[in-house]
Amino acid sequence: MSKSISVSVRALMERMRAEQRAVTFDDVSLADAPSAVHPNDVGLSAHITRKYRVPVPLLGAAMDTVTEAELALELARCGGVGVLHRNLSAAEQARQLSWVRLKVHSGGMIEKPITFCTEDQLSTVEEALREHRWSFSTFPIVSNDGALAGILGRNEMAFASSASSANPRLSDLMKPIADIVHSRPCSAQEAQTLMREKRVRKLPIVGEDGGLAGLYVWKDVCAALRDSEAALDEEGHYLVGAAVSSAESDMARVDALMSAGCRILVLDSSHGASAEAVAQVKRIRARYSDVQIIVGNIASYNSARYILQETQGQVDALKIGIGPGMRFRFSPQARSAPLAKSLVMACLSSLRCTRRGWRCKRTWLAAARGYRSLRTAVCALLVIW
């Protein structure tokens, strides 16, 4: 019978490292202790990068059998983040990323809806629908000076199309705005109440000058209120990441993803601690200073320290673990599967050593703030395999 020893996790890991032994999470049992904290008061939110904190620390793996648009959308709704794999073409990966992001708008309101002019004809709208393959068919109609004039929806277009071969102007088809417009900013909850009272599914918001300030859509409002714990970016869209390779030629993919609104790039490699990966981080950071960069995979103290020192702290999180998944065959073939619990603690030790080494530099304070968030990300990140 094994002997139970009560010891702190940190002390246990330090002792194991000194003895050159390693453990996985299954090797450690948690002992209970007196507590005044109720489970309902415990928050699971955590940083996945130094900038983004999500309600639930779940990250969908960038594998073609795991994460595409559908899973990324559901993860974002649940409070996590999906990482779209890079086996897709650059155009398709960017399209899926844009599709997930635009499934919800900030507070349910579309700040820059697609509009048409009162002088446009019905054929203009029909041609745009065929060309862009939009899944929606309701558009605000504005005058030449930008003032909101009316709303054109599916019903108005259907009646006009079936009436005759004429091509009427939109000013003759649109629904007047008298009963469906709101003249001041409002929250999603207020918008939902107003839409119920007016029995409308679209609620345009106009500014003091009469110009269109935004458009509430019933479906988006309901989604915004329902997904109160969703993972959102600073613009109020679902948070989704995308994987890229360390090859210089993949900068074209990076450009396409950034144009689609990507907020998190994951440098996906079976050996993340390489000169090629470091060079790619520097290329991305030089071109896009605001994007969050996660680098992986790594599996040792030295790899973590190498990335942090060579990139001068330009990464926002490290992806730890090589081949822990049941479908991933690299681990048994390359014999590269360090035990997870020891690996995480080793990488944390690397962060502390790297921080101490940078105390004399002027970038120390900014780097320290970044590494504190990064340290949280390393501990809290849960990868779905």
Q: Is the pLDDT of residue 351 over 90?
A: no
More confident residue, 340 or 113: 113
The C-alpha atoms of residue 124 and residue 157 are separated, in whole angstroms, by: 12
What are the structure tokens assigned to 371, written together?
């590494």
- Residue 352, classified by CB atoms within 10 Å of its CB into exposed (0-12), middle (13-18) or buried (19+), is exposed
Which CA distances in Å does 344 have to 57, 197, 381? 16, 54, 10
Q: What residues contact residue 135 under an 8 Å CB cut-off, 6+ apart?
A: none
Q: What residues contact residue 178 under an 8 Å CB cut-off, 6+ apart?
A: none
| 155 half-sphere exposure, CB direction, 13 A CA radius | 4
pLDDT digits (tens, 9 = 90+) for 103-162: 776 667 887 889 999 999 988 998 998 888 887 888 999 988 888 888 898 888 887 754
Strand ordering across the sheet containing 148-152 = 116-117, 139-142, 148-152, 175-176
User: What mean pLDDT is predicted for residues 361-381?
Assistant: 32
More confident residue, 326 or 163: 163
The C-alpha atoms of residue 290 and residue 284 are separated, in whole angstroms, by: 10
H-only helix segments in 152-261: 154-163, 170-173, 188-198, 218-226, 251-259
User: What mean pLDDT is predicted for residues 158-182?
Assistant: 74
Confidence of residue 335 (pLDDT cuts 50, 70, 90): very low
Beta-bridge partners for 81: 59
DSSP class of 211: B
What are the structure tokens assigned to 170, written together?
């939109």
Strand boundaries in the chain, DSSP class E? 46-47, 53-54, 59-60, 81-84, 109-110, 116-117, 139-142, 148-152, 175-176, 202-206, 212-217, 241-244, 264-268, 292-298, 317-320, 383-384
More confident residue, 241 or 372: 241
Domain with CATH 3.10.580.10 in the chain: 107-226
Q: Which fold has domain 107-226?
A: CBS-domain (3.10.580)
Asked: is 44-104+231-384 a CATH 3.20.20.70 domain? The reply is: yes
pLDDT digits (tens, 9 = 90+) for 139-149: 999 988 888 88
Per-range mean pLDDT, top range of 143-157, 253-267, 348-362: 253-267
User: What mean pLDDT is predicted for residues 169-185?
Assistant: 78
Q: Is 216:109 a contact under the CB 8 Å cutoff?
A: yes
DSSP class of 1: -
Helix axes 9-18, 340-357, angle to 10 degrees: 90
Write out the DSSP string of 109-175. Answer: EESS---EETT-BHHHHHHHHHHH--S---EEEE-TTSBEEEEE-HHHHHHHHHH-S---BHHHHSE
Q: Give percent above pLDDT 90 in the chain.
A: 23
Q: Is the pLDDT of residue 3 over 70?
A: no
pLDDT digits (tens, 9 = 90+) for 36-81: 888 888 888 888 888 898 888 888 888 888 899 999 999 998 889 9
More confident residue, 330 or 98: 98
Confidence of residue 278 (pLDDT cuts 50, 70, 90): very high
Q: What pLDDT sits at residue 358?
A: 36
Domain with CATH 3.20.20.70 in the chain: 44-104+231-384
Q: Is the pLDDT of residue 164 over 60?
A: no
Q: What is the mean pLDDT of the chain?
A: 77
Q: Is the pLDDT of residue 334 over 70?
A: no
DSSP class of 102: T
The C-alpha atoms of residue 283 and residue 273 are separated, in whole angstroms, by: 16
pLDDT digits (tens, 9 = 90+) for 214-240: 888 888 888 777 777 889 888 878 999
SS3 at position 370:
helix
Beta-bridge partners for 264: 241, 292
Confidence of residue 25 (pLDDT cuts 50, 70, 90): low
